[in-house]
């Protein structure tokens, strides 16, 4: 699926993510999902459009993900597929400093996401998602595990 990163690239990506990136997961309301919510995990790297050439070069070393330009001139490189997230985070985790707890929690969520068999399992997963609120200083969250609907 993915090429292996050298330790140099892994360390560089970890430093970039620590400084100009984000690891987060959201519960998005979606009635087409069994428990009424989609678990949407992300790793995002940010860079000014002024350094687009170098940023594109860095992103090409990753080999997966999506690059988009926001209206404010900021480039966002997003990774949101579970297997790619697992590979990326596992590769760079030994070098993370500031976002190591987020990486550990995301890997735990990705593991549990694939093992949800019932409402109770989903509620435990949703509680893990809520734990990102404390790690990422999120104050705008509106969906919390106690709001997860029961069917």
* Catalytic residue status for 65: no
Which is nearest to 85 in space by CA: 26, 147, 4, 23?
23
DSSP 150: P
Residues 6+ apart with CB under 8 A from 132: 24, 25, 102, 105, 138
* Catalytic residue status for 19: yes
DSSP-assigned states of every residue in 113-125: HTT--SHHHHHHH
Residue of 18, 20, 104, 121 with catalytic role: 20
Q: Tell me how far apart the alpha carbons of residues 125 and 14 are, in angstroms, rounded to a whole number.
A: 26
Residues 6+ apart with CB under 8 A from 61: 5, 9, 13
Catalytic residues: 19-20
């Amino acid at each position: 699926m993915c090429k292996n990163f050298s330790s140099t690239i892994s360390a560089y990506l970890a430093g970039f993510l620590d400084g100009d990136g984000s690891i987060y997961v959201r519960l998005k309301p979606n009635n087409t999902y069994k428990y009424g919510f989609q678990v949407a995990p992300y790793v995002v790297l940010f860079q000014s459009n002024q350094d687009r050439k170098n940023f594109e070069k860095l992103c090409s070393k990753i080999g997966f993900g999506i690059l988009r330009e926001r209206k404010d001139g900021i480039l966002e490189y997003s990774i949101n597929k579970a297997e790619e997230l697992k590979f990326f985070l596992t590769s760079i985790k030994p070098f993370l400093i500031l976002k190591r707890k987020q990486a550990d929690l995301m890997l735990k969520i990705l593991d549990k996401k694939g093992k949800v068999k019932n409402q109770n399992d989903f509620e435990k997963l949703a509680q893990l998602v809520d734990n990102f609120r404390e790690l990422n200083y999120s104050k705008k969250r509106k969906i919390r595990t106690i709001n997860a609907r029961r069917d």
